[in-house]
Amino acid sequence: MLSDARWKIITESAFAWERNVLEFLRRHLPDREPYRAWTNFEFIADNGKVYEVDALILAPRGLFLVEIKSDLGTLEGDALTWIGREPSARRKINVLASC
């Protein structure tokens, strides 16, 4: 489990389900170098848009941006387009804006 020194909560999540997922992540990340995590923060892109980040994880293989979703079903896609399939088989497409 990541110690407080390596796990930084910038803003506490307002959602219990999101806090549960973040705690799951924290419990499963090893408390050693180079692992670090920052949770629930925002940044302003060059175009002035505000983006929210659920978690940013530093690990030996890179930096990972974690987006937590509470929708049922499956999620697949690429860097710009996510395709969610609900249990009813209805498709839901989210196009992510680039910074």
What is the domain range of residue 85? 71-99
- How many domains is the chain built from? 2
Q: Do residues 58 and 79 both lie within one domain? A: no
Q: Do residues 49 and 91 both lie within one domain? A: no
Q: Do residues 62 and 78 both lie within one domain? A: no
User: What is the pTM for the complete model shown?
Assistant: 0.75
Q: Do residues 18 and 39 both lie within one domain? A: yes
pLDDT in tens, 38-64: 999 999 999 999 999 999 999 999 999
The pLDDT score that the predictor gives to residue 46 is 94
Contacts of 40-44 spanning 24+ positions with Cβ under 8 A: 40/9, 40/10, 40/11, 40/12, 40/13, 41/10, 41/11
Q: Do residues 52 and 39 both lie within one domain? A: yes
CB-facing half-sphere around the CA of 25: CA atoms within 13 A? 26
What single letter denotes the amino acid at residue 53? V
Q: Do residues 34 and 46 both lie within one domain? A: yes
Q: Do residues 56 and 89 both lie within one domain? A: no
Q: Which of 92, 88, 87 is nearest to 73 (CA)?
A: 87
Poorest-confidence range of 23-32, 41-50, 51-60, 84-93? 84-93
Neighbouring-strand partners of residue 69: none
